[in-house]
Amino acid sequence: MKQLSPDAVRPIGLFDSGEGGLTVARAVADLLPREHLVYACDTAHFPYGPRPLAEVRAFFLRFMEFFAEQNCKLVIVACNTATAAAMDLLTADAFAIPALGVVQPGAVTAAKVSATGRIGVAATQGTCDSGIYPRTIRQLRPDAVVVQQACPILVIRAEEGVISGPEVRSEVERCLAPILAERVDTLVLGCTHFPHMATVIQEVVGPAVRLVDPGKATAAQVADLLRARGLLNPGPAPGRRRAFTTGDPGRFLEVAGRLWPGGIDAAVHIRL
């Protein structure tokens, strides 16, 4: 039996531009309930999608310093745009703290589960422009046909905590129409905000299209990595879940309470 490291009780850091990454945090908490989570988001600069990737990369690097100060044992880049902006650093293990993004796990799952190889990706403009999903999926499955669509309005709605209702359904239908016209059988929710409205999205795309939530695939990868390194928190108590935001912590908790009831213990304002 692999001996547990004393570092196992250190927290896992999660980074996003806003509240979208809570879908990843929730997936990690469901799979690894004893882990302490430090969720940090840059709502002062939200949204990341329209910003140049070089700017997003600079924001992310400042947060990596913050996670080091928080003594995190692992960092999850719970933002597809930030993952695209820093993919070279993530794949090169360029940080003192192990860090991984959500794109690779999502791409692996999509390439595996698609029966026809026709895969849609709903994402931010920045993620679409980077081409990271088509490139990564085709590395895994060269015959794949990958169709992308930027859905910025859905990012805004999720950040507002508005994830259902007639208006949201209408916006989902309009955003996904170009993808569905290409007869995809798999849809990657390529922004961590989108799983918040997965129920509406599934209703719109129908049962023949399989949704891929990269957050869930990332949580499974995190569990494997921590287990292999002897870093799983042995517990026995449930982990603490703290949030830090460059925006208004009160508003963060209000929206988080709608998106993940009871999921976050406290939120604090930070300046980075």
The catalytic residue positions are 79, 191
Q: How far is CA 12 from the centre of its chain?
A: 14
Q: Tokens at residue 48, please?
A: 């990341």
Q: How many whole angstroms separate alpha carbon 118 and alpha carbon 56?
A: 30
Ramachandran angles phi, psi of 165, nearest 5°: 110, 165
Consecutive H or E run containing 75: strand 74-77
Starting at the edge strand that comes first in sequence, how are the strands of the sheet with 99-101 ordered?
Answer: 99-101, 74-77, 12-16, 37-41, 241-245, 266-269
Q: Tokens at residue 269, please?
A: 């304002």
The answer to whether the beta carbons of residues 40 and 245 sit under 8 Å apart is yes
Task: Kindly tell me the number of DSSP H helices and DSSP E strands found in the chain.
Answer: 12, 10
| DSSP secondary structure code for residue 268 in this structure | E
Per-residue CA distances from 70 to 10, 36, 133 (Å): 9, 11, 31
